[in-house]
């Protein structure tokens, strides 16, 4: 069994950026992000809305857990690579706090983390395995699925962030980076890409060599978090004009 799983995980068609399978994943994700929350809000009962939301959250977290189980069963699990100390993985596990238990505090944190990180990850995927490999589906469930979850929480659960939560998100991401840095030192790892840039193209490629890209990434994160709040400014502006009229 170990050899079979290991062979499956390491035999795949190479994923290519902006290929048909990349574009298809983006299209399906966009349709899901737009229509699932709208359908749930308009046509489902409150109980059904919560069940669907919980399913989305559990699906995202489970996709990461199944991946880790498969890696462990293959005999290739590594503390240096497979702990949930990349921001996307940690968000995948903690999204159940929003979708199952509907914790506003977690929504305020994950909203900025996910929209900033997951959009970037969708445009320049750190993905090697193409369709129909399990890890192809796992990647998109764990990334654009997070965007769906947070849009769903905003539309259906009526959760929303405040601009002051940008500071909260910045503090949280630096605490996360500190923990990842300590683990990197202990395990000689590279969680959160603190020690080296990711092997695939990313925005870090434009931020200079180490350690400067880590420093400048702070400003990129702040800009992305602030930009993620813009839709709420537009919503508030539209609502204010409606009330005035």
In the chain, where the domains are located: 2-244
pLDDT at 94: 96
234-245, pLDDT tens digit by residue?
988 888 887 776
Looking at the predicted structure, is the pLDDT value of residue 201 above 80?
Answer: no
pLDDT at 172: 95
How far apart, in Å, are the Cα atoms of 2 and each of 63, 69, 77, 136?
20, 11, 12, 21
- Residues contacting 184, CB < 8 A, separation 6+: 190, 191, 192, 194, 195
pTM here? Answer: 0.93
**Stretch 3-30: mean pLDDT:** 94
**Stretch 223-233: mean pLDDT:** 92
pLDDT at 205: 87
142-191, pLDDT tens digit by residue?
999 999 999 999 999 999 999 999 999 999 999 999 999 999 999 999 99
How far apart, in Å, are the Cα atoms of 116 and each of 5, 18, 39, 64, 225?
33, 20, 25, 20, 6
DSSP conformation letters of 38-50: HHHHHHS-HHHHH
- The per-residue pLDDT of the chain, averaged, comes to 93
Residue 92's CB: how many other CB atoms inside 10 A?
A: 28
Terminal CA-to-CA distance of the chain, rounded, Å?
A: 67
Half-sphere exposure of residue 173: CA atoms within 13 angstroms, side-chain side: 29
Measured CA to CA, the distance from residue 72 to residue 204 in angstroms comes to 30
Question: Does residue 132 have a cis bond before it (omega within 30 degrees)?
Answer: yes
| Burial class (CB within 10 angstroms; exposed 0-12, middle 13-18, buried 19+) of 125 | buried
Identify the DSSP state of 13: P
| Backbone φ, ψ for residue 37 (5° rounding) | -60, -40
51-106, pLDDT tens digit by residue?
999 999 999 999 999 999 999 999 999 999 999 999 999 999 999 999 999 999 99
The alpha carbon of 212 is separated from its chain's Cα centroid by a whole number of angstroms, namely: 24
94-147, pLDDT tens digit by residue?
999 999 999 999 999 999 998 877 877 888 888 999 999 999 999 999 999 999
């Amino acid at each position: 069994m170990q050899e079979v799983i290991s062979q499956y995980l390491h035999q795949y068609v190479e994923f290519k950026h902006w290929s048909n399978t990349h574009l298809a994943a983006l299209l399906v994700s966009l349709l899901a992000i737009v229509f699932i929350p709208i359908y749930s809000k308009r046509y489902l009962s409150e109980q059904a809305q919560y069940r669907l939301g919980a399913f989305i959250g559990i699906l995202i977290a489970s996709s990461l857990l199944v991946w880790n189980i498969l890696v462990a069963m293959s005999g290739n699990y590594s503390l240096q690579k497979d702990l949930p100390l990349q921001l996307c993985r940690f968000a995948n596990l903690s999204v159940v706090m929003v979708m199952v238990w509907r914790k506003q505090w977690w929504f305020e944190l994950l909203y900025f983390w996910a929209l900033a990180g997951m959009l970037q990850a969708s445009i320049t995927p750190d993905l090697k395995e193409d369709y129909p490999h399990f890890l192809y589906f796992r990647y998109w469930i764990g990334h654009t699925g997070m965007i769906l979850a947070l849009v769903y929480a905003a539309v259906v659960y009526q959760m929303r962030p405040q601009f002051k939560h940008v500071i909260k998100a910045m503090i949280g991401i630096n605490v996360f980076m500190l923990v990842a840095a300590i683990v990197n030192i202990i395990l000689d790892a590279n969680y959160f890409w603190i020690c080296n840039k990711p092997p695939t193209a990313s925005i870090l490629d434009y931020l200079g060599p180490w350690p400067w890209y880590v420093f400048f990434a702070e400003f990129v994160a702040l800009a992305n978090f602030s930009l993620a709040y813009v839709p709420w400014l537009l919503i508030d502006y539209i609502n204010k004009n409606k009330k005035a009229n």
